[in-house]
């Protein structure tokens, strides 16, 4: 699965794109941080960080550097060994 964390001046939030069948548009919905945390710690997802002010995109997964995970996602997302 792929989640997106959007960081802007007014705050931050997580989204997920739900793929629809046939000619319908894909839906992008806001999801809770706990949902992303659970999937991330299982190791089967990646999170794309979007910085709105600089248009920078960073992709983070379970095997990324713990310092990068801590910086963009927070202490809760760092895998415990």
Cα dihedral value 67, 73, 77, 81, nearest 10: -10
Sign of CA dihedral 8, 46, 71, 75: positive
The predicted pLDDT at position 14 comes to 96
Measuring CA to CA, which residue among 79, 21, 28 is closest to residue 50? 28
Say yes or no to pLDDT of 13 above 90: yes
Determine whether 73 is exposed, middle or buried from the number of CB atoms within 10 Å of its CB (0-12, 13-18, 19+).
buried
With 90 as the cut, is the pLDDT of residue 19 above it? no
For residue 12, with 0-12 CB atoms within 10 Å meaning exposed, 13-18 middle and 19 or more buried, which class applies? middle
Model confidence band, residue 44 (pLDDT cutoffs 50, 70, 90): confident
pLDDT tens, position by position, 27-42: 999 999 999 999 999 9
Predicted local confidence at residue 20, as pLDDT: 83
Sequence ranges of the domains in the chain: 2-77
Average per-residue pLDDT in the chain?
91
């Amino acid at each position: 699965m792929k989640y997106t964390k959007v960081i802007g001046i007014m705050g931050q939030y997580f989204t997920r794109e739900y793929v629809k069948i046939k000619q319908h548009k894909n839906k992008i919905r806001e999801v809770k941080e706990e949902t992303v945390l659970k999937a991330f710690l299982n190791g089967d997802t990646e999170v794309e960080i979007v910085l709105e002010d600089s248009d920078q995109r960073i992709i983070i997964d379970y095997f990324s550097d713990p310092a990068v995970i801590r910086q963009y996602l927070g202490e809760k997302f760092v895998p415990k060994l």
